[in-house]
Structure 1
Amino acid sequence: MYQLIKNGQVLIDGQLQKRDIAIDATGQITAIEPTITAVPTDPETIYDAHGHFVSAGLIDGHVHFRDPGFTTKETLKTGSAAVAHGGFTSVIAMPNLRPVPDNLLDFKTLVARNQAETSVHTYQFAPITNELTEQTIVDMSAFKAAGAAGFTNDGHGVQTAQTMYQAMQMAAQINMPIVAHVEDESLVNGGVIHDGQAAKKLGIPGIASVSESAQVARDIELARATSVHYHICHISTKETVNLVRRAKKDGLNVTCEVTPHHLLLDDSAITSDNAMLKMNPPLRTLADRQALWAGLMDGTIDIIATDHAPHTTEEKQQSLLKAPFGIVGSETAFSLLYTHLVANGPFSLAQLTSWLTTNPAHVFNLPHAGQLAVGQPADLAVFNLTDTTTIDANTFLSKGHNTPFIGEAVQGDTLLTLVAGQIAYQKE
């Protein structure tokens, strides 16, 4: 455990300023000062940040730890090690597991395992319906009491409007969010990438943008009728951005997230049968990607979340038609985003950190997360913003290496991650 972080650079009023940070034996921050002269007697508990950026621990509102049921892809241990490697100290895990935790015994067991077996703060979403695909809604009040962070059928859109309407009514009554994977399956038509130029050139069935935006439009009207907090996962289309923008102007409690890969890639990157570029929702067009950047700029999009989705190498070596959807993102998110959005883009470091810290803490009601402040837990990360490194799968702590970003030169390497003062990751 570290008791003193020396010579860090902390964001204060949007500017980086030199600060030391003191941490007590309980893992709480006790002081943040330009210089702290009273140092611990044990030099091993002092970390010299050497002028690097010290951030509040990042928050990821959308990760897949695959455990139980799919532990060849990831486990609670490897998943949490991976997120700590990326500078994340709090995450919310998705319930598309085997078995689906749609009964209280399985859900409580999973919550207990999250607490016991992960090295970060791991919160858990509960399913909206049994098996994620049925019409029977879970007992939301009981799941809230058992620790649910919200309700989602991630991986599946709720296909029936009546089911979603009833779920929203129930969630609104207990002040919990509905977290929606938006996909009208009747409009997917066996597609595996976006229904655009890449699909036509490769002769691969495409997924139309309207499969997302049509369900968003439906759900926004249901949210209007129920006053629920409606959060949309991994938005990808310009139509969805416009729908959310209008909903917010109407005063609805609608929030949404975007992934790093949808911000940084579009379907022009798909020039061959490369399943590393297969994710759901798929990479859309340049115009869609530009709309996502504009949505971040004007506040339509609230947060960035990775949708960290590990798969085995064998699975991702298959064709686009056969390989599973999804890429890993926990270990590369901050460096990719800092490099493209801040160092070489129009956004500030303060904006980036807000999308990864304070905003998700607010959206998902995590009162002690995302803050670097006296009296708060010492959940923090140290990033090297100056030196360039190369994304290398050999350094990944996740079991999954399925990302198209391997080999890319980036800034923003994680040097240290503390969770309640304890070392969750430290670069050698």
Structure 2
Amino acid sequence: MSDRRPAPSLLFEGARVLDPASGFDGSAFVAVRDGRIEAVAATRPAGSFDQTIDARGQWLMPGIVDIAARFREPGASHKATFASETRAAQSAGITAVTIPPDTRPPIATPAMVDRIHGIADRVGGLDVHLLGALTQDLAGESLAEMSALRQAGCVGVSNAASGLRDSLVGRRALDYAHGLGLTVHVFAQNPALANRGCAHEGPIATRLGLAPIPVAAEVSAIRFWISLVEDTGAAVHFGRLSTARGVEMVGAAQKIGLPVSADVAAHQLFLTTDDIGSFNAMCHVLPPLRSAEDRDALRAGVMHGLIGTICSDHQPHEPDAKINPFPLTEPGISGLETLLPLGLVLVEDRILTPLQLAERLSLGPARVLGVAAGSMAVGQRANLVLVDPAQPFELRGDQMLSAGRNTPFLGRKLPGRASLTVHAGTIVHRIQAPR
């Protein structure tokens, strides 16, 4: 249930406050007034409040910043729209999303930036950040006007899943981005080695007759970009890691002080190539689901902070997109509504502490994007999520708010969810459930 009525002032009582920016993890009163955090205190702040929220037994943390989510508008509104996906994001405790540049047309001009921001502003209730195109129309040949895209409001640049014509384009792109102070977001997959495959190279792909994507497709791409980072000093963020070797290489680069960071899609921390089973198209994703050893290495990377961000990699599809033979189905999972609940499973499994989960979901991505989020400091804009970690539920398609119901987690019992989401001081989502 959503509640869009303005809330000029809020007081949260009894919550376990998780502030990854300060490292605070403890019980506190949190006051919100005029859209900002007014107080975080051990005792009740003075003054009256329009709403007092009993948050006992729940966690209050900064709103989730999803670093990779496709809302399909413009260009594919038959799959989803900003209106539908904003509601889904709000219900999941997400207060900010980052849209990759592969919309239709791509985010390659200031006019396109303005168009998408206009759509987002009309819907409201969510901070929307954009990645601009690294090359013109994502064609991989000539560089996009990164300076104009930055001035228009892009928080980084990327070529999404498209490749580059040659390594010189990559070198020039990093030089240009570095001069502008822009982070380059890289989908680490060598197109030639991936060769339009659809499954992890191994016995499952062989048995099912599926075109394979070897680990080397990711590893060679990471090696290429790290070598350019060494030459240029540019900041590179590797999105959606999928391999143990990739985690190892990113960690080694960080250890010697290179400005590289990485994220992982939540589903990669739970699923493996075995889940494809007998051509389960819900498990058709890019990068592909890999081995159990890769999954465990990704979990270790998240645990130790080598991977500082967990994202949804949200890609909603209409039902027809997943009913063809496996290689002909469209890759991607509708992930907004499972991002936080799957994170709570990581806490249950002792992969992360609650405070570390808040960091991987809010402060980590905010730092990569260079945006003011992920903090519970006084004066900070009040983008918050109240998490009930002990409100188990079964993920059901008829209860999902995303227009895309394409997820392999349907029917899965999950341990908890967002009970209330606040965006800029206003409650945009609230559920009332028996405790």
TM-score (norm 1): 0.95
Pair 159,210 (structure 1): closer, same or farther in 2 beyond 3 Å: farther
From 6, 10, 21, the equivalent of 1:3 is 10
Matches within 5 A, 1:90-169: 90-169=96-175
From 241, 246, 250, the equivalent of 2:252 is 246
Aligned length in residues? 423
Q: What's the offset of the Cα at 1:39?
A: 5.7
From 362, 372, 377, the equivalent of 1:373 is 377
Distance in 2 separating the partners of 1:334 and 1:214: 31
From 397, 413, 418, the equivalent of 1:409 is 413
Q: Does 1:19 align with 2:24?
A: no
Q: Does 1:205 align with 2:192?
A: no
Q: Which residue of the partner structure matches residue 75 of structure 1? A: 81
Greater shift in the superposed pair: 111-120 or 405-414: 111-120
Distance in 1 separating the partners of 2:183 and 2:379: 28
| 1:170-201 alpha-carbon deviations (Å, 9 max, x no partner) | 00001100001122111123311111121112
Q: Does 1:354 align with 2:359?
A: yes
CA RMSD of aligned residues (A): 1.7
Q: Does 1:182 align with 2:188?
A: yes
Instruction: Work out whether residues 237 and 289 of structure 1, in 8 Å CA contact, stay in contact via their aligned partners in 2.
Output: yes
From 23, 31, 48, the equivalent of 1:40 is 48
Instruction: Work out whether residues 18 and 51 of structure 1, in 8 Å CA contact, stay in contact via their aligned partners in 2.
Output: no
Matched position secondary structure for 1:357: helix
Q: What's the offset of the Cα at 1:38?
A: 4.3
Instruction: Work out whether residues 393 and 413 of structure 2, in 8 Å CA contact, stay in contact via their aligned partners in 1.
Output: yes
Q: Does 1:196 align with 2:202?
A: yes
Q: What's the offset of the Cα at 1:59?
A: 0.9
Instruction: Work out whether residues 183 and 212 of structure 1, in 8 Å CA contact, stay in contact via their aligned partners in 2.
Output: yes
Distance in 2 separating the partners of 1:157 and 1:79: 28
Distance in 1 separating the partners of 2:268 and 2:75: 28
Q: Which amino acid aligns with 1:170?
A: Y
| 1:371-397 alpha-carbon deviations (Å, 9 max, x no partner) | 112111111001111132111222211
Distance in 1 separating the partners of 2:154 and 2:198: 32
| 1:80-120 alpha-carbon deviations (Å, 9 max, x no partner) | 21111111111111121111121222222222332332421
Instruction: Work out whether residues 274 and 319 of structure 1, in 8 Å CA contact, stay in contact via their aligned partners in 2.
Output: no
Distance in 2 separating the partners of 1:159 and 1:404: 35
Q: Which amino acid aligns with 2:15?
A: G
Distance in 1 separating the partners of 2:371 and 2:27: 27
Pair 15,111 (structure 1): closer, same or farther in 2 beyond 3 Å: closer
Instruction: Work out whether residues 108 and 149 of structure 2, in 8 Å CA contact, stay in contact via their aligned partners in 1.
Output: no
Distance in 2 separating the partners of 1:157 and 1:297: 31
Matches within 5 A, 1:237-386: 237-339=243-345, 341-367=346-372, 369-386=373-390
Matched position secondary structure for 1:337: helix
Instruction: Work out whether residues 157 and 181 of structure 1, in 8 Å CA contact, stay in contact via their aligned partners in 2.
Output: no
Distance in 1 separating the partners of 2:124 and 2:70: 13
Q: What's the offset of the Cα at 1:46?
A: 2.5
Distance in 2 separating the partners of 1:159 and 1:291: 32
Q: What's the offset of the Cα at 1:423?
A: 1.7
From 23, 29, 36, the equivalent of 2:37 is 29
Q: What's the offset of the Cα at 1:271?
A: 1.1
Distance in 2 separating the partners of 1:328 and 1:382: 22
Matched position secondary structure for 1:242: helix
Greater shift in the superposed pair: 396-405 or 185-194: 185-194
Distance in 2 separating the partners of 1:90 and 1:190: 32
Unmatched 5+ stretches in structure 2? 1-6
Distance in 1 separating the partners of 2:351 and 2:173: 39
Unmatched 5+ stretches in structure 1? none
Distance in 1 separating the partners of 2:18 and 2:140: 46
Instruction: Work out whether residues 111 and 147 of structure 1, in 8 Å CA contact, stay in contact via their aligned partners in 2.
Output: no
Instruction: Work out whether residues 77 and 119 of structure 1, in 8 Å CA contact, stay in contact via their aligned partners in 2.
Output: no
Higher relative contact order (CA 8 A, sep 6+): 2
Distance in 2 separating the partners of 1:101 and 1:346: 36
Distance in 2 separating the partners of 1:276 and 1:329: 12
Distance in 1 separating the partners of 2:44 and 2:109: 50
Instruction: Work out whether residues 114 and 123 of structure 1, in 8 Å CA contact, stay in contact via their aligned partners in 2.
Output: no
Q: What's the offset of the Cα at 1:312?
A: 0.7
Q: Does 1:422 align with 2:430?
A: no
Q: What's the offset of the Cα at 1:16?
A: 4.8
Matched position secondary structure for 1:148: coil
Pair 270,416 (structure 1): closer, same or farther in 2 beyond 3 Å: same
Distance in 2 separating the partners of 1:364 and 1:106: 19
Instruction: Work out whether residues 159 and 185 of structure 1, in 8 Å CA contact, stay in contact via their aligned partners in 2.
Output: no
| 1:185-239 alpha-carbon deviations (Å, 9 max, x no partner) | 1112331111112111212111111111111111110111111001111010112
Instruction: Work out whether residues 299 and 351 of structure 2, in 8 Å CA contact, stay in contact via their aligned partners in 1.
Output: no
Matched position secondary structure for 2:344: helix
Distance in 2 separating the partners of 1:187 and 1:217: 14
